[in-house]
Structure 1
Amino acid sequence: MASSSAGFVAGLTAAAVVTVGFLTYQASANIPAALVGKSRANTSATAAAKAPRDKKNPTALPGSSGTGERVVYSVDDDRVWLVSATGRVERTFKVTPGSVDPLPGTYAVTSRSKAVTGTDGTPIEHVVRFTSVGGVVIGFSAAVNGTTTTPDSTVKTGGIRESRRDGDAMWVFATIGQKIVVIR
């Protein structure tokens, strides 16, 4: 009986070591470049960050912004594109970013809330979250009062504000797991 107990404990220990190793790897793979101090020049996120623009049509979907059904968000242009599975732009609109920007890369919608209060105290609706930066949750939302004013820069906010009409469209389009591509 003692040898079977020892084998059981050894098995549990091995499983724990594997789990800790996996979680350590996963955590290290998701450290923002700013915290690591290394350039991400060779990552696909950077390739997406340099998406070319159509100078004659600034609202056109930037090249190299991914494939398939997705939400494309340009932090430099403060613009969103809702793109169908065939690559057709279903809708594009301007947004007002929070004080904390997401890093360029590909994400997925992780959670949604019909109505909550934003970090800045504003009642918001149709919240679509997809990442966090330094503990600040990043997501799209619309203020219930319809405002899209620039947030107070002294408060760390990750809310990317849309008009209520655009928020309605995002809510329908960006369900849990929907791909979000962030570009510069």
Structure 2
Amino acid sequence: MATRHSARRKDAQLDIVVGDITRLALDAIVNAANATLRGGGGVDGAIHRAAGPGLLTECRAFGGCETGDAKMTLGYGLPARHVIHAVGPVWRGGGADEDALLSACYRRAIVLAAEHGLKSIAFPAISTGIYGFPAARAAPLAVGAVLEALDAHGSLSHVVFCCFSEGSAAHHHDAFRHHGLL
């Protein structure tokens, strides 16, 4: 998986890659989860399949997760040690607080990582698949929320935005530029 774009900010390396998040050997990968935390389609289903049944068993114990929040589990069969299940919003046209909820789930994932002393994390493009959040709108919100959370909880030294397509990576590249990282 080749890095498409890279930036250094304070003590953190930020990368944009195109590839399969389930193959990243980091402290944590973030799952674009649904509120039940029981798996589903897209990246959520791929993470559950790759991790194995222990992940679902641990997720069931949470009893779900609110939109804008996140929960952390072990990584089970994944190369990542942990999975942070972040629940992003379903796009409803922009008038249902979607921007704030999307930003919140990214920030919450960083907080969980910091609370557990993690040093590396990878994010998918949360809510931009089946949840329909416009990717060009989501990328700057995601990058901005991560930068804000890193300022407040600076334990992470490596953040990866793992994109499912070149188009998603281009939106993240534009977001890096927008936030002065390039």
Give the TM-score taking structure 2 as reference length: 0.26
Higher percent of residues as strand: 1
Higher percent of residues as helix: 2
Give the TM-score taking structure 1 as reference length: 0.26
Higher relative contact order (CA 8 A, sep 6+): 2
Q: Which has the larger radius of gyration?
A: 1
